[in-house]
Chain A
Amino acid sequence: MCLAVPGQLLSVTGEDPLFRRGRVAFGPLVKEISLACLPEVKVGQYVLVHAGIAISAIDAEEAQRVLALLESLEEDEP
């Protein structure tokens, strides 16, 4: 039930903050998603979507930090 999927925000519509929504691409699939919980999000950003609403904007730098940590682990291996 807590499954949430990352997708890229393509466009934003609606003025009223409660009804503001965006088109989000999950690979080839595009769905209309509520942006009521992410007032600051910008087109082009990746968002995490759960039950039809975006709950988090994905931080690209933090993602990169984990990937860099993994590379350092791989180098440690004998």
Chain B
Amino acid sequence: MKYLDEFRDRDAVASLAAAIRAAATKPWRLMEVCGGQTHSIVRHGLDTLLPENVELIHGPGCPVCVTPTEAIDRAIALALRPGTALCTFGDMLRVPGSRGSLAQAKAEGGDVRMVYSPLDAVKLAQQEPELEVVFLAVGFETTAPAHALAVLQAHNLGLRNFSLLVSHVLVPPAIEAIAASADSRVDGFLAAGHVCAVMGEEQYRALVERLRVPIVITGFEPVDILLGVLLCIRQLERGEARLENPYARVVRSDGNRQAQAMVSEVFEEVPRRWRGIGELPRSGLALRPAFHDYDAERRFDLSGVRADDDPRCVAGEVLRGVKKPHQCGAFGTACTPERPLGAPMVSAEGACAAYYRYRRSEAQPATASAT
């Protein structure tokens, strides 16, 4: 398909790998921020094409993974509530809450519906006015416009039976927290291309100024990722720290202004707790007071739902890039996609899921060394 095949070209991948080998004279550690990029790297074995002195560290860019367990528990409580349908993207279904997942709640008779878009949930609310329709709004800046649009459509249609259970997170505060943390091992960042498609370059230029590290806005195909690595290493070797955007076919300097306007009409920035990182100021989105009628947390009493993470899960260290998935004692034994202890093992963007799917044979649980 156009704009996919040419960015997966084997010869281009090989010559980029050669250019990276030629450029990297010192040890460098780069973090790819987005879990979608992690999956592409592990699936295509891109890290195995890099020289030994270049390491890719997997970042926190998996919204499902950083969502606190109690958000899942609240979604389950709503799914089990009579007369309520809980709609969600497919990759939330098997994420473990403290007492099971949405998939298990569905098996027990809960009304859980997998949809492709939050706009499908708006349609459902329109078709079934007697049903309370709640959409589990988890995501980064990429997904925020779709959630904002769903609320604006519901408002425009005068729907009184549609709401969002919001657990939205923002990328720049997480990059800043990781760069500032004592165990930070990151020399440069590959920024998440689709987050930037919405938000543009400005926030990342500001981050480069503050953190003095190179940031390269990077896409998701093998060629895009290796090009991001090459440009980041060239900057590091020259002692530079700039923002570069080789993903300009998708990312405009201003981002998508229309989408930004919708998001800021509907949502405001709030502090948000991240699994593994803790609470970060202005790192999440919540509905503005004008849209509180569409806030499931205000519409339904969910205050009693509290949850703890499984103590065996090291998701926090994996999400900060301090540990790789197969360095966890539970990896592939106590924790598998069928019986996960933490969200990174089941999410489509979770680093543990990527290693389990593509690297299990070479990673002996618990005794494996870092690659």
A-side interface residues toward B, CB under 8 Å?
1-4, 6, 8, 16, 18-19, 26-27, 34, 36-39, 46, 48, 50-53, 55-56, 58-60, 62-63, 65-67, 69-70, 73-74, 76-77
Question: Are the CB atoms of B256 and A63 closer together than 8 Å?
Answer: no
A39 to chain B, nearest CB (A): 6
30 contacts between A and B (CB under 8 A): A1-B62, A1-B63, A1-B138, A1-B349, A2-B34, A2-B194, A6-B1, A8-B2, A18-B149, A19-B153, A34-B149, A36-B149, A37-B262, A39-B258, A48-B194, A48-B250, A50-B146, A52-B120, A52-B146, A53-B117, A53-B119, A53-B149, A59-B250, A66-B223, A66-B249, A67-B6, A70-B223, A74-B11, A74-B12, A77-B18
Interface pair B142/A70, CB less than 8 Å apart: no
Within 8 A of A (CB), among B200-258: 220, 223, 227, 246, 248-252, 256, 258
Minimal beta-carbon separation of B143 from chain A (angstroms): 6
Q: Does B314 make an interface contact (CB < 8 A)?
A: no
Inter-chain contacts of B246 with A (CB < 8 A): 66
Please tell me the size bucket of the interface on B.
35 or more
Q: A7: shortest Cβ distance to chain B, in Å?
A: 8
Give CA–CA (A34, B152) in the complex, Å.
13
Whether A52 touches B1, Cβ cut-off 8 Å, given contacts A2-B194, A38-B256, A66-B249, is no
Q: Which residue of A lies closest to B245 (CB)?
A: A62
Q: Once the chains are docked, how many angstroms separate the CA of A48 from the CA of B246?
A: 16
In B49-84, the 8 Å CB interface with A consists of: 61-64
Question: CB of B3 within 8 A of chain A?
Answer: yes
Instruction: Choose one: A27, A37, A63, A73; the contact of B145 (CB below 8 Å).
Output: A37
- When A and B form their complex, which 5 residue pairs have the shortest distance between CB atoms, in order from nearest? A52-B117, A63-B249, A51-B146, A62-B249, A62-B248
B315 within 8 A of A: no
Q: A70, B15: Cβ atoms under 8 Å?
A: yes
